[in-house]
Amino acid sequence: MCEEKKEKTETELLKEKLLIKKESGAKTLSEEEIRKADEFCKGYMSFLDRAKTEREAVAVTIAAAEARGFTEYDPDLTYKPGDKVYVNNRGKAVMLCVMGKNGTKNGVRLGIAHIDSPRLDLKPNPLYESNDLAMFKTHYYGGIKKYQWPTVPLALHGVVAMKNGEVKNVYIGDDDDEPCFVVTDLLPHLAVDQMSKVMTKAFDGEMLNVLIGSRPFRKDEESESVKLNIMNILYEKYGFTEEDFVSADLTMVPAGRAREVGFDRSMIGAYGHDDKVCAYPAVIAAFDTELPDSTVISVLTDREEIGSDGATGMKCTYMADFIADLAEADGMRLRHVMARSACLSADVNAAFDPTYASAFEANNSSYINNGAVITKYTGSGGKYSTSDASAEFMASVRSILDEKGVLWQTGELGKVDGGGGGTIAKFVANLNADVVDLGVPVLSMHAPFEVVSKIDVFETYRALYEFYNYSQPDDEGE
């Protein structure tokens, strides 16, 4: 392009030097970069379709990791720089590790995302019949707006563990030729009472009952024959009985596949972006990391949506225990390794939504297509329940991203006192490591169909990759 060069005015020069550039986001990306983002997201969409629950995400991740040369970690073996291992925690959390040139000497580089998403878990005694309809009782998992879940096609995913140790996989409702399930809602004609209620009262947790059948078992006139018919179908297909529901992790998730959104196909709509949209980039960043300076660990954790408690959540010691093993092998102590470690807590933030603009503060919100969002702190009220990354750590992260040309932005989770939320960042900070949240902005977060931008997914991958592969200047150069 041939354009006459005009002299910049003094105001223009000063603006350039001192102010945040107004021209930002996708507009600054080359066609090539956007093409790469689109390509990257094909893999992500396929991951989403196969990984709706944490168990599925772990299974898919380990299969892909093994295909790329990762082996299951054995604390009794000796590893060398560049070796790739994984740790499977109960099939519900997984860590991918690439051994660094300096091992754990200068700390480790962590990227942690969660693979559980809000959903409707079946109660331990879920099956019942009412007025000749067979239903499942559910107990919702994570923060949901309950009114969003009725009249959405649902699929049943999970496992039933038998007393003999056998674990049966249940996976039904996603394919076009399979039946799905649904929570019913009241017709508007008869909803005068319901419509006058406040949202939290209009649909309560005990109304999230899933319709699963309606035909009776034909052979006799017994009561609850619809229930019996459903149990018989389940027994014939999976071989478990009503009592076995007590030892099951079964959950109703929105049925169907990830879809491109918009005439320009710039976005992806799907169930479970929060937080597979950061988990997938963390997995691929570990796959693409060959020989980092410091050991790199991508952690896909569970239980985040319900507070990170439990053996597969980030309040558990499983990650620290693994790092302790690595530290010992290097003749280091865990506490010294942790103090030198740095972590990107890879989780989503709320993207500014013009329809709900009043929930956001425009200058401190993240926007679709503006890249990975760094969230210095989450929490609520007066910064309660957040680790709030230090100025120094923020500086080191933005310096890496700028040096490598990663598209990023910063944003808070909505307006001050507008509500709030948290991530696993604080649990990592409590281990005495530097940590900040970095991830993808999401529209309709926690809804059965959430929306993200392809560009933001790719830039989050790039952020994690560059963070993992950054050469620390304080390394003794070999």
The residues that touch Mn ion, with contacts defined as CB under 5 A, are 274-275, 347
Rounded to whole angstroms, the Cα distance separating 40 from 463 reads 14
Give start and end residues of each alpha helix (H) in 386-453: 391-403, 425-429
**Looking at beta carbons only, is 48 or 212 nearer to Mn ion?**
48
The CB density around residue 165, as the number of other CB atoms within 10 Å, is 6
Closest among 336, 352, 408 to 376, alpha carbons compared: 408
**Looking at beta carbons only, is 56 or 305 nearer to Mn ion?**
305
CB of 110 to Mn ion, least distance (A): 16
Tokens of 225: 């024959």
Q: 59 near 66, Cβ under 8 Å? A: no
**Looking at beta carbons only, is 274 or 302 nearer to Mn ion?**
274
CB of 302 to Mn ion, least distance (A): 12
Q: What values do phi and psi take at 50, rounded to 5?
A: -100, -5
Chain centroid to CA 285? 15
CB of 289 to Mn ion, least distance (A): 23
Tokens of 239: 């071989």
State the Cα torsion 398-399-403-409 to the nearest 10°: 10
- Comparing every residue's Cβ against Mn ion, the nearest one is 275
CB of 299 to Mn ion, least distance (A): 14
CB of 387 to Mn ion, least distance (A): 15
Q: Hey, what amino acid is at 200?
A: T
**Looking at beta carbons only, is 307 or 405 nearer to Mn ion?**
307
CB of 305 to Mn ion, least distance (A): 5
**Looking at beta carbons only, is 174 or 274 nearer to Mn ion?**
274
Q: Where are the beta strands (DSSP E) in 33-105?
A: 71-72, 84-89, 93-98
CB of 296 to Mn ion, least distance (A): 21
CB of 74 to Mn ion, least distance (A): 32
Q: Where are the beta strands (DSSP E) in 265-381?
A: 267-270, 296-301, 342-345, 349-350, 372-375, 379-380
CB of 142 to Mn ion, least distance (A): 6
**Looking at beta carbons only, is 89 or 117 nearer to Mn ion?**
117
Rounded to whole angstroms, the Cα distance separating 407 from 409 reads 7
**Looking at beta carbons only, is 274 or 353 nearer to Mn ion?**
274
**Looking at beta carbons only, is 293 or 347 nearer to Mn ion?**
347
Rounded to whole angstroms, the Cα distance separating 329 from 103 reads 9
Q: 263 near 442, Cβ under 8 Å? A: no
Q: Where are the beta strands (DSSP E) in 391-458?
A: 408-410, 420-421, 434-439, 441-442, 450-453
**Looking at beta carbons only, is 129 or 275 nearer to Mn ion?**
275
Q: 136 near 212, Cβ under 8 Å? A: yes
Q: 387 near 405, Cβ under 8 Å? A: no
Q: 37 near 368, Cβ under 8 Å? A: no
**Looking at beta carbons only, is 275 or 412 nearer to Mn ion?**
275
Rounded to whole angstroms, the Cα distance separating 270 from 257 reads 7
Cis peptide before 456 (omega within 30 of 0): no
CB of 117 to Mn ion, least distance (A): 7
**Looking at beta carbons only, is 249 or 274 nearer to Mn ion?**
274
CB of 400 to Mn ion, least distance (A): 23
Tell me the angle at which helices 273-287 and 454-469 cross, rounded to the nearest 10 degrees: 40
